[in-house]
Amino acid sequence: MKDETTLQSIGDSLVNIQEDVTFNLIETAIDAGFSPLEIIENGLSPGMLAVGDHFERGEMFLPQVMMAATLMGKCVTSLNEKMAENEASEKKGVIVLGTVEGDVHDIGKNIVKVLLNVNGFDVHDVGRDALLEKFVEKAKEVNADIIASSALMTGTMEAMGDLETALKDAGIRGSVKTIVGGAPVTQYWADKIGADAYAENAGEAVQKAVELMRA
């Protein structure tokens, strides 16, 4: 029988970096009927977002954040292996993902990357503090369908608009869609710079990517 508190406990154990507890809870969740995707989206991802919040408030330090991120990576790898073959192998599209120049935040971006991967997208991460050229070059290299950019500071949002211009200058804006997101980003901002979609959170980023691939 499914018990949503199990997923919350998975997130809590990730925050506390309790590896054995986390894996035991994941097995409990699987036995209860939760899918690997549900565990990632509703257990591990909220936990990792909580880690980011603790870090921003000075309640956790970088080594702890890195340990939590490593644990989440192990869990996701294990859950990927448990997925049905068709669920794990079907590719919906190619996405270039990154945090824009001047912004070193990447916890949210990394969660989006995980969710896109498990939902069947081929994701190419250009990292944090990524130059516009990196987005453009990688998009050309992998023949990207979508470019997803993140900004966590108001001062770096302008780079999203610059990216739209850079893609036009490179002659590829017509063949690639764009998604923007991050704490200060809004639908108004997405419309203003001409992005194709805005995602408020990681789950919505996946939803918008699916919608853009169908458009």
Please tell me the distance from the alpha carbon of residue 26 to that of residue 132, in angstroms, as a whole number. 39
Please tell me the distance from the alpha carbon of residue 150 to that of residue 129, in angstroms, as a whole number. 10
pLDDT tens digits for 92-111? 899 999 999 999 988 889 99
Please report the pLDDT score of residue 146 as a whole number: 98
Which amino acid, residue 126?
Answer: V
Please report the pLDDT score of residue 203 as a whole number: 84
Structure tokens, 91: 């590719």
**What's 173's DSSP letter?**
G
Of 10, 1, 11, 8, give the one whose Cα is nearest residue 31: 1
Q: Give the sheet arrangement for strand 197-199, strand by strand.
A: 121-130, 93-100, 146-150, 177-181, 197-199
- CATH architecture group of domain 4-87: Orthogonal Bundle (1.10)
Please report the pLDDT score of residue 202 as a whole number: 86
Angle at 209 between CA 159 and CA 186, to 5 degrees: 45
Which amino acid, residue 26?
Answer: I
* Segments making up each domain of the chain, as ranges: 4-87, 91-214
Helices (H), 99-201: 107-118, 132-142, 158-169, 187-193
Please tell me the distance from the alpha carbon of residue 163 to that of residue 50, in angstroms, as a whole number. 29
Please report the pLDDT score of residue 84 as a whole number: 59
Q: How many residues does the chain have?
A: 215
- CATH architecture group of domain 91-214: 3-Layer(aba) Sandwich (3.40)
Please tell me the distance from the alpha carbon of residue 56 to that of residue 76, in angstroms, as a whole number. 24
Question: Residues of the chain whose pLDDT is less than 50?
Answer: 85-86, 88
